[in-house]
Structure 1
Amino acid sequence: MTSPDPNHWCPRPAPAVVTRHDRARGNHVLLMPERIVVLTGSARHVVELCDGTRTVVRITEELRARFPDAPVDAEVGPFVERMRKEGWIR
């Protein structure tokens, strides 16, 4: 299976995935059937931008503008690809 083109693919949450703030954990989480993923660091920001309206390139650009000192270019693409492989986004 090949990765989608980051210039054209607009990732969005998979149908059974919900993002919530978990007060007990003090973090945002992805809720899925029989699974919870705790979003640490900047992961929440990436997930929030995966709303089906932005390409991966645009997500990276927006995060680079928000966090100019962060290694956005090196981390966003691999994280989005991991989320796709895990089935959290489509």
Structure 2
Amino acid sequence: MRFSFGQVVIVGGAVLAAMPSHAQTFDPRYPVCMHVYSGANGGGGEWYDCSFTSLPQCRATASGRAATCDLNPYYPVNAPSPRLRHGRSS
């Protein structure tokens, strides 16, 4: 059985479209993320919760869980702070 190039492209596109997509893992609005491991027995795999403003806050939440706290690699640390605009008064 022979397949034409067009058939291969269509089948390949259908396979890629059927695969699950992954959302953005890290939220760039928060500097600290908690990496939660639920393992094969927990059934949920692992995920990141990027909703913490400090490492101590994250560590308090992760205490007693299979989780670690890391700095968010996508948090804009070196971004310049926005300048305040002042209108001219007459």
* TM-score interval, normalised by the smaller of the two chains: under 0.3
Which is greater in Rg?
A: 2
Higher RCO, 1 vs 2 (CA within 8 Å, ≥6 residues apart): 1
Q: TM-score, normalised by structure 1?
A: 0.28
Q: TM-score, normalised by structure 2?
A: 0.28
